[in-house]
Amino acid sequence: MDLKQIAKETAKVLTSYLTYQALKLVLAQVTETNPPLAIWLTEFSATHSIQDGEAYLEALLQVESETALRIMTVRQHLADEVTEFLPEMVQANIQKSNMIHRRQHLEKLSGLVPSALSPDLVQDLDSDLPTDLSTDLSSEPSAE
């Protein structure tokens, strides 16, 4: 098991995901302030996969550099705010999720009535999100 490679691949996926989230935020902003750009960006995003955030940004830089720079600025802000909470949130969520899955598996093996993964348990997994995170992210910089 190559932990360094796993960490590298995880970081790449997280970076692409933050690019996607930044795109969503910028798209919401330009929908209000510049509808023609919002339509164009939506069409561009439909033809250029956001799956690889870096490739997406490279393509966007070639045709609409101002928007690409805005997405990069928002992505950096998201990274600065979100990565602070990630290590313990990920560990806590995995521990809770594993416990739930193990309990359900044990119930199934022992013949007890298995409790389906109820919405309360799913919400419980999401409850680790710090309450101040939502307020921190709502004040993202506008890169206009």
Amino acid at 144: E
Domains of the chain (ranges; CATH) run: 1-84 (1.10.1200.210), 86-128 (no CATH)
| Tens-digit pLDDT profile for residues 65-92 | 999 999 999 999 999 999 888 889 999 9
**Of 75, 88, 91, 66, which is closest to residue 16 (Cα–Cα)?**
75
In this predicted structure, what is the pLDDT of residue 134? 44
Mean pLDDT lowest for which of 32-46, 55-69, 120-134?
120-134
The Cβ of residue 103 has, within 10 Å, a number of other Cβ atoms equal to 14
The mean per-residue pLDDT over the stretch 46-69 comes to 96
The three state secondary structure string of 17-84 is: HHHHHHHHHHHHHHHHHCHHHHHHHHHHHHHCCCCCHHHHHHHHHHHCHHHHHHHHHHHHHHHHHHCC
Instruction: Output the pTM of the full model.
Output: 0.72
